[in-house]
A and B are shown apart, each in its own frame.
Chain A
Amino acid sequence: MPKIVMPGQEVGQEQKNALTYSDEKGVYATVISLQTEDGKIIPLEGPYQPAIDDYVIGKISEVKFGGYDVDLNSPYKAFLPVDKLNNLNNKTFSLGEVIIAKIVNVNEVRDIELGDPRPLEGGILVKVSPVKIPRIIGKKNSMVNMISFATNCKIYIGKNGLIFVSSSGDYLAAIKAIKMIEKQAHFSGLTQKVAEFLEKETNKKIPLDQIQQSSTPALPAKKESQNQKFEHGQKRGFQKGFNNFKKRHFRR
């Protein structure tokens, strides 16, 4: 039976990780967390700590000379450089656009660099606690696949606690299910509960054993941009500025 441990409570001698504090006498929990039978510590509260290879959802908060600042709903802002936009065929973003992107690099003062951006359109963003995200994803994406199977919504999950639910299907049921998982993340047997809930909401039979499992997270397709390629001298915005900059400084 997993138990809830509080800050300052002893959690055994071997559990030294980022979520514990240790002195010469023992190892203690630092945040409210769940200790499983095999001693693993799962946090129940806390902010998002950026890690490389996480997919995160953010909003363009500033257009800069060499790229974009992205607001990630965390203490740290991320930067998306222009040269990481190659796969989008010269697409430019405007202020307030929502994207899903991969964290390419994080340094020791938590400067985040993003790559592989994909724009998100036509849906709703749901804000949840970042530490509950693994539970919403489920084992091999089973939980999120089940929700999108039942509601016909496309669901993209940012590890920073933002979830995109497309408005194509029964998105209200999907949001309710996500909120339910967030509130009950520390209980066991959640998949069964969520399946029952979704069956009631959508009047659709959910075959639990036929839900797809995948090792990679679902991502929106890379869309070919409608923007035409700009010829030299025709480039706009920061590209034009960058060319002027090059002319000025690298004349030789």
Chain B
Amino acid sequence: MENIPKLLDEQGRRIDGRAVDELRPISIKAGVLNNADGSAFIRWGNNKILVAVYGPRECIPKHESSPYRAQLRCRYNMAPFCSLAEHGKSGPSRRSMELSKIIGETFEKVVITENFPKTAIDIFIDVLQSDGGTRCAAVTATTVALADAGIPLKDMVAAVAVGKIENKVVLDLSKDEDNFGQSDNPIAIGVRDEQIFLYQMDGLLTKEEIKEGLRMAFAAIKKIHSLQLKALEENYTSQEHQKFISLNMPTFKI
């Protein structure tokens, strides 16, 4: 840790030139995979994440199924080529197990699983390129993929991280700010009634700093939510969608 980069310059700009309460550029596209029931692709700064939702489908193994609700299963995975070695490795690891668990638990509170007894809903999250804040981007994209699959949701969830670098509270930390900063807090928020579904804290913040961070996060969530809505609406309004004759018609002969 000899060469700690200067995270904030004299004008209060960050490494990538953002202001303290500025998001990285985000773009979301829904329905990118043909064979999945719902899917989404998100670019969040340098993060690129693909989310596929399958289901509700038959729950295998059978002993995991419940007669009362659908089982929600989530798998977060980093591609072997997604980043430099220090920021997360591919394959099953402590980190990917933790992220699968927390993202799955976030959506267990949102998806109305009682509508589909005895089934399973599978969420597959694949990080193709990572640059810090992948869990927030993944939660944001998974909401879009679930909505695209037609799975009933009580609310739409969006997530963003707040943290502290050089004693200042900042929004949406990148990889360097996460590694060399003082604190990183990913927060997932239900958009409609501003319910907090996920709050993780890495490093410490004072009470005032948390309040300041939450204020920033709630403002940012509104922007992210509008992008989610845009991504979903595009599937129904874009010109491309109205061209109806597709070459890959799923038919088979009897």
A-to-B contact residues, CB < 8 Å: 4, 6-8, 18-19, 21, 25, 28, 30-32, 43-47, 49, 75-77, 98, 108-110, 120-127, 131, 175-176, 179-180, 183-184, 186
Which B residues touch A122, using CB under 8 A? 254
Which 10 pairs between the two chains have the least Cβ-Cβ distance?
Answer: A45-B150, A46-B150, A30-B152, A180-B244, A7-B153, A75-B119, A183-B244, A8-B192, A75-B56, A8-B155
Q: Nearest Cβ in chain B — how far from A84, in angstroms?
A: 22
B-to-A contact residues, CB < 8 Å: 37-38, 55-58, 67, 112, 115-119, 147-156, 190-193, 229, 232-233, 236, 241-242, 244-246, 249-254
Q: Nearest Cβ in chain A — how far from B71, in angstroms?
A: 11
Asked, given contacts A28-B154, A122-B254, A124-B254, whether A47 binds B56 with beta carbons under 8 Å apart, the answer is yes
Docked pose: A179 CA to B250 CA in angstroms: 10
From A32, A109, A183, residue with most partner B Cβ within 10 Å = A32
State which of B112, B191, B232, B249 has its C-beta within 8 Å of the C-beta of A30.
B112
Which A residues touch B250, using CB under 8 A? 126-127
Contact A125 B249 (CB under 8 A): no
Contact A98 B254 (CB under 8 A): yes
Contact B244 A184 (CB under 8 A): yes
Docked pose: A37 CA to B251 CA in angstroms: 36
What are 17 A-B interface contacts by the 8 Å CB criterion?
Answer: A4-B233, A6-B232, A6-B233, A7-B155, A8-B190, A21-B152, A28-B155, A32-B232, A47-B116, A75-B116, A76-B58, A109-B118, A110-B118, A121-B254, A123-B254, A126-B249, A183-B242
Docked pose: A48 CA to B253 CA in angstroms: 22
Which A residues touch B150, using CB under 8 A? 31-32, 43-47, 131
Contact B252 A124 (CB under 8 A): yes
Asked, given contacts A75-B57, A183-B241, whether A110 binds B152 with beta carbons under 8 Å apart, the answer is no
Contact B229 A179 (CB under 8 A): no
Contact A6 B254 (CB under 8 A): no
Q: Nearest Cβ in chain B — how far from A163, in angstroms?
A: 10
Which B residues touch A6, using CB under 8 A? 147, 156, 229, 232-233
Contact A120 B245 (CB under 8 A): no
Q: Nearest Cβ in chain B — how far from A75, in angstroms?
A: 4
Contact A109 B67 (CB under 8 A): yes
Asked, given contacts A6-B229, A98-B254, whether A31 binds B152 with beta carbons under 8 Å apart, the answer is yes
Docked pose: A135 CA to B23 CA in angstroms: 42
Which B residues touch A75, using CB under 8 A? 55-58, 116, 118-119
Which A residues touch B156, using CB under 8 A? 6-8
Contact A7 B147 (CB under 8 A): yes
State which of A21, A30, A124, A179 has its C-beta within 8 Å of the C-beta of B246.
A179
Which B residues touch A21, using CB under 8 A? 112, 152, 154
State which of A25, A124, A131 has its C-beta within 8 Å of the C-beta of B251.
A124
Contact B236 A44 (CB under 8 A): yes
Contact B254 A179 (CB under 8 A): no
Docked pose: A122 CA to B250 CA in angstroms: 17
State which of B192, B232, B254 has its C-beta within 8 Å of the C-beta of A125.
B254
Contact B251 A125 (CB under 8 A): yes
Contact B251 A175 (CB under 8 A): yes
Asked, given contacts A28-B154, A75-B58, whether A45 binds B118 with beta carbons under 8 Å apart, the answer is no
State which of A18, A30, A43, A179 has its C-beta within 8 Å of the C-beta of B244.
A179
Asked, given contacts A4-B236, A8-B156, whether A179 binds B249 with beta carbons under 8 Å apart, the answer is yes
Docked pose: A109 CA to B150 CA in angstroms: 20
Q: A8-B192, A179-B244, A179-B245 are in contact. List 7 more A-B contacts (CB 8 A).
A: A30-B152, A30-B154, A31-B150, A46-B150, A75-B55, A75-B116, A121-B254
Contact A8 B115 (CB under 8 A): no
Which B residues touch A125, using CB under 8 A? 251-252, 254
Docked pose: A120 CA to B254 CA in angstroms: 9
